[in-house]
Amino acid sequence: MLESLPRLPDDPILGLAAAARADGNPDKVDLTVGIYMDESGLCPVFDAVRQAQRALVDEEATKAYMPPVGDPAFNTGMRQLVFGTDSAALAAGRVSSIQTPGGCGALRIGAEVINAAVPGARVWVSDPTWPVHIPLLGSVGLQFENYRYYEAADHSVDFDAMVDDLKQARRGDVVLLHGCCHNPCGADLSLEQWGVIADMAEEQGFLPFIDIAYQGLGDGLERDAAGLRLLAARLPEMIVAASCSKNMGLYRERTGITLFLCADANSADALQSQAAVAARRVYSMPPAHGALIAGRILSDGGLRENWERELGGMCQRINGLRGELRRKLEAEAGRDFGFIEREKGMFSFLGLSAGQARALRSEHSVYMLDSSRINVAGVNAGNIDYLARAVGAVLRA
């Protein structure tokens, strides 16, 4: 039976990352996978994570299953982190949540609940969006429409086109939005634009589904969640998928959460029960280690302060890299790269053609996607000059 299955192609991002690892050029630059890297080219472990992990190992007395909805401290801490400690919705008991295996698990559980409410519901997805959004949500049976989002010519949000497309969204539809640090383009909505989306959701009745995987890596924890919180203050319902992979560095621990904003506390309880049943049939019980670490950090004043300071340093470094990369590229290529400095988070399209991106790989061992999407956090003091010279050479060719 199984021998009839063909070999499928490698994931385009992970396949390029594997090619970069296999490249023997000592000057190679890998800008493919969206993982934060420090100046030494390593994905660092937060000091707050080390402290919480040591305490967990010292105190852990059992390896029994987690509760189906996850660690209570993690759930409480993440609800407050995403919606804010002063959230009226939290105070009213209108928010419930379930711990998931990473942000991917959070998206999948959100999709399961949506499909239970409206089988085959139509989901509006930005063009472009993170490539895994479609298979994660579509495997449940949801259907898709695209809304225009990014204007490649000037590297900005094409908000007029976005609004024009979303005028077709109706009650029973879902609109998937990036909470901050848009992946892959780095172009984010302004708070005023979030207000327009809130107006449309109120009038048209569609359900916002917010993917906020990068909170804290754009303008800080509070400002990165401002648009989401604006929607939460005005709308009766919303689903949020959040992750600790990036802002706590818990990539391999698969630490995520799905949050449900509902009209009242009874509905919030019902949504949590729906999510728990969906989780039982998808992965049964949530993983423990990462959530127990994150829960400790979010609930301990000292650990929380340490974590926020470290995260702030990461955010500052990324924003600094954007400015430095802009200056280096402009000096080498003789064209405007100011958009890099205006964008937020870890990603940017450099505006190169697929042929130019392939030339960078074959001639210079600089690895980026054919779309010229780069992970800015893969840039460091040791490779930025080589990267800029390589891009300049390809653009002049």
For 260-280, what is the mean pLDDT? 97
For 100-127, what is the mean pLDDT? 98
For 58-67, what is the mean pLDDT? 94
Give me the residue spans of the domains in the chain. 2-45+304-396, 65-299
Give me the CATH topology for the region 65-299. Answer: Aspartate Aminotransferase; domain 2 (3.40.640)
The whole-number pLDDT of residue 12 equals 84
Closest CA to 156 of 384, 342, 392: 342
Alpha-carbon dihedral of residues 187, 189, 191, 194, nearest 10 degrees? -170
Q: Check whether 196 has a pLDDT greater than 90.
A: yes
Element (H, E) at 150: strand 150-151
The whole-number pLDDT of residue 20 equals 92
Helix axes 301-333, 384-396, angle to 10 degrees: 40
Higher-confidence position of 397 and 357: 357
Residue 254 carries which side chain, given as an amino acid letter?
R
For 215-237, what is the mean pLDDT? 98
Q: Check whether 213 has a pLDDT greater than 90.
A: yes
DSSP-assigned letter for residue 251: G
Element (H, E) at 297: helix 289-299
Structure confidence by residue, pLDDT tens digits, 115-156? 999 999 999 999 999 999 999 999 999 999 999 999 999 999
DSSP string covering 319-379, please? HHHHHHHHHHHHHHH-S--HHHHHS-SSEEE----HHHHHHHHHHH-EE--TT-EEEGGG-
Rounded Cα distance between 44 and 22, Å, is 22
Beta carbons within 8 Å of 202's beta carbon, 6+ residues apart: 234, 235
The pLDDT confidence band at residue 397, using thresholds 50, 70 and 90, is confident
CB neighbourhood size of 119 (10 A): 10
Counting residues of the chain whose pLDDT is more than 70, the rounded percentage is 100
Q: What angle do CA 61, 66, 68 make, to 5 degrees?
A: 165
Q: Known catalytic residues?
A: 130, 211, 246
Q: Mean of the per-residue pLDDT values for the chain? A: 96
DSSP-assigned letter for residue 40: T
Determine the distance from the C-alpha atom of residue 272 to the mean position of all C-alpha atoms in its chain, rounded to a whole number: 22
The whole-number pLDDT of residue 105 equals 97
Give me the CATH topology for the region 2-45+304-396. Answer: Aspartate Aminotransferase, domain 1 (3.90.1150)
Counting residues of the chain whose pLDDT is more than 90, the rounded percentage is 97
Q: Check whether 57 has a pLDDT greater than 90.
A: yes
Q: Check whether 264 has a pLDDT greater than 90.
A: yes
Q: Check whether 11 has a pLDDT greater than 90.
A: no
The whole-number pLDDT of residue 10 equals 86
Structure confidence by residue, pLDDT tens digits, 360-373? 999 999 999 999 99
Q: Check whether 50 has a pLDDT greater than 90.
A: yes
The pLDDT confidence band at residue 103, using thresholds 50, 70 and 90, is very high
Rounded Cα distance between 9 and 18, Å, is 13
